[in-house]
Amino acid sequence: MTARRPQRARDPEARRAALAVAAMEVIAENGVGRTTHRAVAARAGLPLGATTYYFPTLDDLIAAGLRHALDGLQADLSAWDDRLRAAPDMAEALTGLVQEYLADRRQVRIEYELFVAAARDTALRPLAEAWLNDIPATLVATVGADAARDICALLDGCILQSLVSGTELDAPRLTAAIRRLGS
């Protein structure tokens, strides 16, 4: 007589979360265009059917991964807000935060994948717009709305250049540019 394996309790929310995390990781490694249900299921260690059960379309699965990344980013932005408000030199503090942000290139790639995906898929735009709006909101109290938008555009350009070129951020130059835009 063969002993039966005990059945594992299924936790739908835990599976959904595991799939979102796995989708985020696959997006970081392969990009949105190469993300598949099969790759996400394999990364999560779940059967392929679980991905299509919880996320019927690939767009749903990708959006879940990007939403998970955005949740982490919004928590980071809250910490940025606290640090910037307490900083004696906002430009220097902001440059330091960008350097810390760039230390996790994998996470940066995920977040920039969100922008690229949102440019193609209107369903993802609210996710990308949440990020675009959160960073300026952090700076508005210090430098005003127009300068906050300009500084964020500068940060995006510097981050993207560093990400694409694989080079370190030119911190003194960024700090000086932030000071010029914020004055």
* Residue-wise pLDDT tens digits, 21-32: 999 889 888 888
What is the model's pLDDT at position 85?
A: 85
Characterise 8 by phi-psi region: left (phi > 0), alpha (psi -120 to 50), beta (else).
beta
pLDDT > 70 in the chain, percent: 95
With beta carbons less than 8 A apart as the criterion, state whether 182 and 155 touch. no
Domains contained in the chain, CATH given: 12-182 (1.10.357.10)
Q: Which of 71-80, 93-102, 126-135 has the highest mean pLDDT?
A: 93-102
Reply yes or no on whether the pLDDT at 2 is more than 70: no
With beta carbons less than 8 A apart as the criterion, state whether 181 and 123 touch. no
- pTM exceeds 0.85 for this model: no
Residue 128, φ and ψ in degrees, nearest 5: -65, -40
Q: Sign of the CA dihedral 50, 51, 52, 56?
A: positive
User: How many beta carbons lie within 10 A of that of residue 128, not counting itself?
Assistant: 20
